[in-house]
């Protein structure tokens, strides 16, 4: 039986950090769980590939990266969060995180009384407006552990009021609990361009293609083809945000034509990949 989840503390210490905000604020999430006021924002940097193991917080959390893409696993689903989005994780929900690219984060820890009845009880994507982005950055520069002055309290209140729950599908990537399904999903996430069909996977997974097809529908709510398409689009987000050309991203993910990739990307995300890259640059 795995050990119980513990609050996140030293696991969040990837390296020595520099810069005026980071050098003067605590980098320990425990210091943000009972601060005075409605919320406190922690600034942090993570190198590419850094993994934060599964943990939970006493406060709700708004995970936002000013640069890079953050991958969060929670509630048996995976989100890849680009710079113009953030992920709301309610208090007490176990989640893990991985940095895709060098990540600069501003994480808001929100007290239960500030969440209100409108806050979703499950992880949910949040639109990050230019105003919300600036408020997250500004509140992250405030000292931690003291009663906020009136101006500081008003800034924090405005930051919370600016949170807008995204009407768009959050593009989580559901995963199943069956070990055969997990093996296939993990392999595709490691190599999204893998062209193997469900029939090809059947021999390796030790189950018939019909059984695997039923498992995908039952445990993820998606067909195998739809799940793989979504995995490829999720994999495209950090590449586009990092400035990789659309043609290169398309080839990297195994698409024969840029048009096929662009059409699928637009169907899932709502904008073509070139427009998404521009949004990431300006976020």
Per DSSP, the residues of 103-143 read: EEEEEEEE-HHHH-TTS-SS-EEEE--HHHHHHHHHHHTS-
Count of Cβ atoms closer than 10 Å to residue 216 Cβ: 24
How many angstroms separate the CA atoms of 10 and 53, rounded? 11
Rounded Cα distance, 240 and 249, in Å: 7
Check pLDDT > 60 for residue 231.
yes
Of 57, 148, 142, 46, residue with least CA distance to 101: 46
Q: How far apart are CA 242 and CA 39, in angstroms?
A: 30
Continuous H helices in the chain: 20-23, 112-115, 130-140, 150-161, 179-190, 198-205, 209-220, 224-241, 246-252, 258-269, 273-282
What's the pLDDT at 25? 79
259 CB-near residues (< 8 Å, 6+ apart):
none
Contact, 112 vs 128, CB < 8 A? no
pLDDT, mean of residues 126-135: 91
Residue 9 main-chain phi, psi, to 5 deg: -140, -100
Q: What digits encode the pLDDT tens for the residues 22-75?
A: 546 788 999 999 999 899 999 999 998 899 999 999 999 999 998 888 889 887
Q: 175-282: which CATH topology?
A: Arc Repressor Mutant, subunit A (1.10.10)
CA-to-CA separations, 137 to 91, 115, 251, in angstroms, rounded: 22, 20, 36
Angle (deg, nearest 10), helices 258-269 and 224-241: 90
Task: Report the C-alpha gap between 216 and 241 in whole angstroms.
Answer: 29
269 against 129, higher pLDDT: 129
Delimit the CATH 1.10.10.60 region(s) of the chain: 175-282
Judge whether residue 18 has pLDDT over 50: no
- The CATH H-level (homologous superfamily) assignment of domain 10-165 is Regulatory protein AraC (2.60.120.280)
Within 10 angstroms of residue 258's Cβ, the number of other Cβ atoms is 17
User: CATH 2.60.120.280 occupies which residues in the chain?
Assistant: 10-165
pLDDT digits (tens, 9 = 90+) for 71-112: 898 877 788 887 778 999 999 999 999 888 888 999 999 998
pTM: 0.65
pLDDT classification of 237: cutoffs 50, 70, 90 = confident
């Amino acid at each position: 039986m795995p050990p119980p989840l513990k609050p996140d503390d030293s696991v969040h210490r990837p390296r020595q950090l520099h810069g005026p905000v980071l050098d003067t604020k605590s980098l320990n999430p425990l210091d943000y769980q009972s601060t005075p006021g409605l919320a406190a924002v922690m600034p942090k940097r993570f190198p590419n590939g850094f993994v934060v193991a599964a943990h939970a917080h006493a406060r709700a959390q708004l995970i936002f990266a000013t640069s890079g893409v953050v991958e969060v696993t929670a509630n048996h689903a995976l989100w890849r969060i680009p710079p113009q989005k953030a992920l709301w994780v309610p208090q007490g929900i176990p989640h893990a995180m991985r940095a895709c690219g060098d990540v600069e984060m501003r994480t808001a820890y929100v007290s239960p009384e500030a969440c209100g009845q409108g806050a979703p009880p499950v992880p949910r994507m949040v639109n990050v407006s230019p105003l919300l982005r600036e408020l997250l950055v500004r509140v992250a520069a405030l000292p931690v552990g003291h009663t906020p002055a009136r101006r500081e309290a008003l800034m924090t209140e405005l930051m919370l009021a600016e949170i807008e729950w995204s009407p768009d599908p959050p593009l989580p990537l559901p995963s199943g609990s069956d070990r055969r399904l997990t093996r296939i999903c993990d392999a595709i996430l490691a190599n999204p361009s893998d062209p193997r069909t469900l029939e090809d996977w059947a021999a390796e997974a030790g189950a018939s293609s019909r059984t695997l097809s039923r498992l995908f529908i039952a445990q993820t709510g998606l067909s195998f083809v739809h799940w793989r398409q979504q995995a490829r689009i999720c994999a495209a987000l950090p590449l586009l945000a990092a400035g990789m050309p659309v043609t290169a991203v398309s080839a990297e993910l195994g698409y024969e034509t840029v048009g096929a990739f662009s059409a699928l990307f637009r169907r899932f995300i709502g904008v073509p990949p070139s427009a998404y890259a521009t949004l990431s640059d300006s976020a």
